[in-house]
Amino acid sequence: MQSITLALVSGLIGALITNAVNLHISRKKEENETKATIKAIKSEIKNLEYIFCEEFGKKITDDDAPLLYKYPLDTDYFYIYHSNCSKIGRINNDKLRDTIISIYTTAKFFIDCLKSNNEAIKFSEEIEKKYENALPGVEFTEKYKEDMASVNYCLYNSKVCNLLPTYKKLCALFEQLKSIK
């Protein structure tokens, strides 16, 4: 009887130790995966910072003139983020996690602003083409001026009200991320 009790207690202790070791290994593996995810996301963000702040920034902050360059926006600039969304919630540092999410949300809005600006440029080109082939006349001239004034207003607002403030917020978020350890 004593040997059965000893065997049961020994088995129970062995099972508890095995479970504790497996739990520790599992937590360590998850911790390492989270660290790798953070590293990969920070690398992607570093590239995004270059693209947005260096490439777009020069054209956006130059002057108050509309942004008349159409950007190709067919690329998924957020591949690592999209591939690791389920792991972002595991980041224990609240400020880091919140900043990463804010960067991506703001960057996606920035791309939406660029798409909107691209559409306004496309509309401007269509108007130019439409009136290029028309016969000159007083009505044509006034209508053309009205249409182009509307397009220029849209392009100006696109830059001043959307692109520029979003660009500044994005650059501030990039700097904020650098300060988080």
Q: What was the pLDDT predicted at 48?
A: 92
Token couple for 19: 């479970």
For the chain, the first-to-last Cα distance in angstroms comes to: 58
Local structure of 110: helix, strand or coil: helix
Q: What was the pLDDT predicted at 149?
A: 87
Report CA-CA distances (Å) from 112 to 8, 18, 33.
Answer: 65, 52, 31
Q: What amino acid occupies position 26? A: S
User: DSSP state, 180?
Assistant: -
Q: What was the pLDDT predicted at 137?
A: 60
CB 171 within 8 A of CB 53: yes
Q: What was the pLDDT predicted at 139?
A: 60
Q: What was the pLDDT predicted at 136?
A: 64
Mean pLDDT by 10 residues, the chain (181 residues): 78 82 84 92 94 83 81 88 91 95 95 91 86 65 82 86 92 94 79
CB 118 within 8 A of CB 30: no
Residue 155, exposed/middle/buried by CB under 10 A (0-12, 13-18, 19+)? buried
User: DSSP state, 66?
Assistant: -
Q: What was the pLDDT predicted at 130?
A: 79
